[in-house]
Amino acid sequence: MADAPLHVVELARLSDTGRVRDHNEDRAYAHDELVAVADGMGGAAAGEVAAQLAIRAIRQLTGPIDRASLRAALESANTAIRNTAESDPTKAGMGTTMTAVAVDDGTAQIVHVGDSRAYLWRDGRLRQLTDDHSVVGEMVRRGTITPEEALHHPHRNVITRALGADPAVEVDTSVEELRDGDVLLLCSDGLYTEVDEPEIAAALAGAASINVAARTLVDRANAAGGSDNVTVVLARIGYGPQVGADRPDPSGTTQEHPILEAPREAAAPAIGARVLEPVGGSRRRLSRTGLLVGAAVLVILLIVGGAWWAVLRSFTIQSSGGTVWVDQGIKLGPIDLTAPWQDTLVPTTAVQNGSSARTLGSVGGEGATVRSAVSLVWTDGMPQIPTLAAAGSTKTGG
């Protein structure tokens, strides 16, 4: 290789909520010669807290950065995430992926946990530098399924390693010698599950700059469905001046938060969001003359609306076909008003194996209710089938 030092000469970073999720639990970092992507998971806002803690550990590194210091940062993030989760029950079970690359003297120092990815784009071709720590990633490596089958596998969201999952985290490390013109791509699964590798390579080859490439990749993920948060970090390697503090970074990458967010269509209203709010107390305002009719109408509305609300807002955990399902609806004696509603993709076996399964998988769909249902399963190891009803659903008119 040439003696002149290779540097990161251009950086781009873009994170987007996507078209389905209601908030972004991905976090990214790109500054000087250090890049990272974290894809958080957990109920409420916990996923983004976990991802943020991981990014913070990376960001606090100073001096020469190598695999050892990166690994130590991930291990301290693992501890920080677990401590935070322990002290705040609303964050129990939170976790995050982390893929980070430091470029040092023309060498990429890579650390990795989870199913986010680092790729090397060289001479128009894309090569994955990291192994996915996921159920399907391991099946692909064993040759049980093809990478194409992995993209549609029902357990494609189930990861086998995460920061925050266990007291000790196993961190993959590797090195890669870089060349002039190489581009490092770090991404969350929201990119590669929507955009296949030839298309990613084509977007990089056809872009006027890596900022344009980042925009194109995120747009394509959203055009393909945008089913998940999508995050892309790009670093171009060359002999030019290093990206640094001397000039403003055009991508604004010194901030921790996503800097560009695509305009997002309003999230689809949750099932049941349009039903009547409970109206307890309003009947006292009815006049005596209107009492008879008004009370009758109100009681009917309460019974019908309340029952409808209760059916729609009640969720039940079931094991079906090897994974944990959330069913919607209730059972009224012999009347079964439930229907399969959402596959959590959490394997039943993982749940029954105890607490290490807590951060396996991420849950899409109607946020809080499902997450709390699933966290109950995770917490209790499914000793029984809990029925969850959203607040306000107790007025069933009975």
- Residue ranges in contact with Mn ion by CB under 5 A: 39, 188-190, 228
Q: How many residues in total does the chain contain?
A: 398
Please classify residue 212 by burial: count the beta carbons closer than 10 Å to its beta carbon, then call 0-12 exposed, 13-18 middle and 19+ buried.
Answer: middle
Q: Among residues 44 and 337, whose Cβ is nearest to Mn ion?
A: 44
Q: Among residues 96 and 323, whose Cβ is nearest to Mn ion?
A: 96
Residue with tokens 């000793």: 383
CB atoms within 10 A of CB 48: 22
Longest dimension (CA), the chain: 96
Residue with tokens 């307890």: 280
Give least dist CB 228 to Mn ion, A: 4
Q: Among residues 97 and 323, whose Cβ is nearest to Mn ion?
A: 97
In 239-354 the beta strands, taken as DSSP E runs, fall at 314-320, 323-328, 331-332, 335-336, 339-347
Do the beta carbons of residue 329 and residue 339 sit within 8 Å?
Answer: yes
Q: Among residues 17 and 393, whose Cβ is nearest to Mn ion?
A: 17
Distance from C-alpha of 335 to C-alpha of 338, rounded to nearest angstrom? 9
Give least dist CB 21 to Mn ion, A: 9
Residue 176, beta-bridge partner list: 108
Q: What is the DSSP string of 108-143?
A: EEEEEESS-EEEEEETTEEEE-S---BHHHHHHHHT
For the record, the structure tokens of 72 come out as: 């130590």
Phi, psi of 271, rounded to the nearest 5 degrees: -55, 130
Give least dist CB 190 to Mn ion, A: 5
Q: Among residues 159 and 302, whose Cβ is nearest to Mn ion?
A: 159
Half-sphere exposure of 160 (CA within 13 A, CB side): 13
Give least dist CB 229 to Mn ion, A: 5
Give least dist CB 328 to Mn ion, A: 24
Q: Among residues 133 and 395, whose Cβ is nearest to Mn ion?
A: 133
Give least dist CB 189 to Mn ion, A: 4
Going by C-alpha positions, the residue among 314, 320, 376 that lies closest to residue 348 is 320
Give least dist CB 26 to Mn ion, A: 6
